[in-house]
């Protein structure tokens, strides 16, 4: 498209018409009627010139708006660089006023990743129903005896296997209070089933016995609620930084005071809990930071966190049937960290890989009238490798699937979750 110069064209036309009018009049140019006719023609042509210039300016403004809209739409498509339109394509003599630059909206893929990492701050309510399945098994050897001559074991040896299955439904709610502050609420409901297998029936190590312990379907777990504050927005050189503060309420069933029983009278080496807990039983406070940086077509993310449980007194913390032992419980502090990357396959779909680890210290108990004592074997190192897929159905609805593979014995063997966040 070339630049149109209506002022020059109409000016030339005006001169030609004036000359023709003068030649046609000849010696009669001094006639008052002819002079009035020429003046009318000149006035009419000037009015047409002003109308054409105004129409030309309106068209130029319309073209500039179309060009800005085209560049904004192209900027939203990952991997596409907006093309510059030549200045000659805008037919305007005046310099256009600088347009206010707007930040391109994130694609469905970017929104889903940012939402998972709690870095998407929007002024509306988002509800995410999420279903998670986890499976965990552990083989352990129980020794009841002593070593003779530092090499010969004298006593009873039993092998016990535990298979744990958990099905958890979470109702997650996020609400943007401001452009930088977001509130969250997590309501979990659990179903747990543990299968215990042990040898030693009738003092025979080759004969096994089995016992199953489970909860009622979808019992209330520990409620989690918190606030997320955006410390820094993402720029070309710096990531998006979010600080979070969360609280954990002991709304689930505590694991203290649950009695340990022997379901098979013929196998004294197999002991199982009478019921299963659905929570930690203690108030907890957690804080941490999350980082998200877009590097087209990838999105880098990382997080660190610290969780502390406050000691609490219980009317019974013993495990012996028929014995009530009041006391206090203090869980070890938990340090969490993780990192990963998400790849945008297209505007709607992305794949992600990540690593997550939780390190917990040993728990302590104190019976009334005695001192604090460590509970051996309660320190935890739970590391997992995760594979995720997100698919944006629309700008309001997304499907998120995640597969977790345990990398240490303290982590679940496998976990599989599905979530569908919906924004109102």
* pLDDT attached to residue 205: 54
Within 10 angstroms of residue 396's Cβ, the number of other Cβ atoms is 14
DSSP for 224-250, written as a single string? EEEEEEEEE---SSS-EEEEEEEEEE-
pLDDT of the residue at 36: 79
- The answer to whether 107 touches 79, Cβ cutoff 8 Å, is no
Distances (CA, A) of 40 to 14, 49, 239, 311, 406: 12, 14, 68, 98, 91
For residue 331, the model assigns a pLDDT of 93
Residue 92: its pLDDT value, please?
Answer: 47
Q: What is the mean pLDDT of residues 12-40?
A: 57
Mean pLDDT score, 252-277: 86
Query: Does residue 16 sit in helix, strand or coil?
Result: helix
Supply the mean pLDDT for the chain. 80
Q: What is the pLDDT of residues 183-235, one digit of tens each?
A: 999 999 999 999 988 776 655 556 778 889 999 989 999 999 999 999 998 88
Domain boundary assignment for the chain: 6-89, 108-423
User: What pLDDT score does 111 carry?
Assistant: 65
Closest CA to 112 of 287, 297, 351, 334: 351
CATH code, 108-423: 2.40.160.40
Q: Which residue has the higher pLDDT, 356 or 102?
A: 356
Strand-by-strand arrangement of the 312-314 sheet:
312-314, 327-330, 364-367, 373-374
C-alpha distances out from residue 368 to 135, 142, 309, Å: 37, 29, 20
More confident residue, 50 or 170: 170
Residue 17: predicted pLDDT: 47
> Mind listing the pLDDT tens digit for each residue in 121-171?
676 888 999 999 999 988 765 544 444 444 444 444 555 788 999 999 999
* Average pLDDT of span 239-243: 92
């Amino acid at each position: 498209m070339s630049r149109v110069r209506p002022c020059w064209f109409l000016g030339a036309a005006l001169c030609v018409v004036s000359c023709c009018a003068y030649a046609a009049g000849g010696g009669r140019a001094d006639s008052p009627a002819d002079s009035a006719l020429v003046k009318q023609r000149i006035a009419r042509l000037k009015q047409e010139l002003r109308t054409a210039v105004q129409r030309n300016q309106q068209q130029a403004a319309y073209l500039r708006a179309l060009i800005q809209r085209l560049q904004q739409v192209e900027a939203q498509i990952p991997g596409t660089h907006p093309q510059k339109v030549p200045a000659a394509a805008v037919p305007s003599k005046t310099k256009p006023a600088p347009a206010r630059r707007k930040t391109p909206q994130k694609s469905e893929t970017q929104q889903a990743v940012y939402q998972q990492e709690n870095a998407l701050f929007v002024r509306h309510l988002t509800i995410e129903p999420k279903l998670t399945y986890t499976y965990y098994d552990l083989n352990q050897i129980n020794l009841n005896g002593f070593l003779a001559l530092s090499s010969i074991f004298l006593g009873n040896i039993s092998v016990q296997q535990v298979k744990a299955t958990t099905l958890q439904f979470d109702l997650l709610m996020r609400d943007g209070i401001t452009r930088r502050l977001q509130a969250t609420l997590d309501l979990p409901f659990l179903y747990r089933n543990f299968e215990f297998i042990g040898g030693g029936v009738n003092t025979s190590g080759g004969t096994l016995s089995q016992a199953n312990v489970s909860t009622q379907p979808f019992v209330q777990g520990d409620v989690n609620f918190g606030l997320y504050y955006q410390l820094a927005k993402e720029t070309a050189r710096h990531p998006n930084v979010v600080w979070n503060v969360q609280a954990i309420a002991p709304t689930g069933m505590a694991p203290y005071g649950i009695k340990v029983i022997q379901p098979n009278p013929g196998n004294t080496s197999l002991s199982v809990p009478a019921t299963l807990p659905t929570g930690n039983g203690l108030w907890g406070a957690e804080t941490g930071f999350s980082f998200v940086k877009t590097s087209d077509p990838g999105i880098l993310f990382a997080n660190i966190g610290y969780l502390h449980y406050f000691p609490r007194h219980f009317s019974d913390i013993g495990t012996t049937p028929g014995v009530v032992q009041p006391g206090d419980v203090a869980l070890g502090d938990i340090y969490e960290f993780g990192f990963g990357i998400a790849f945008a396959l297209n505007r709607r779909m992305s794949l992600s890989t990540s690593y997550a680890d939780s390190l917990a210290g040993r728990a302590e108990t104190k019976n009334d009238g005695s001192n604090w004592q460590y509970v051996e074997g309660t320190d935890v190192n739970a590391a997992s490798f995760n594979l995720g897929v997100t698919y944006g159905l629309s700008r309001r609805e997304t499907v998120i699937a995640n597969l977790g593979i345990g990398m240490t014995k303290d982590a679940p063997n496998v976990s599989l979750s599905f979530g569908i966040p919906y924004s109102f």
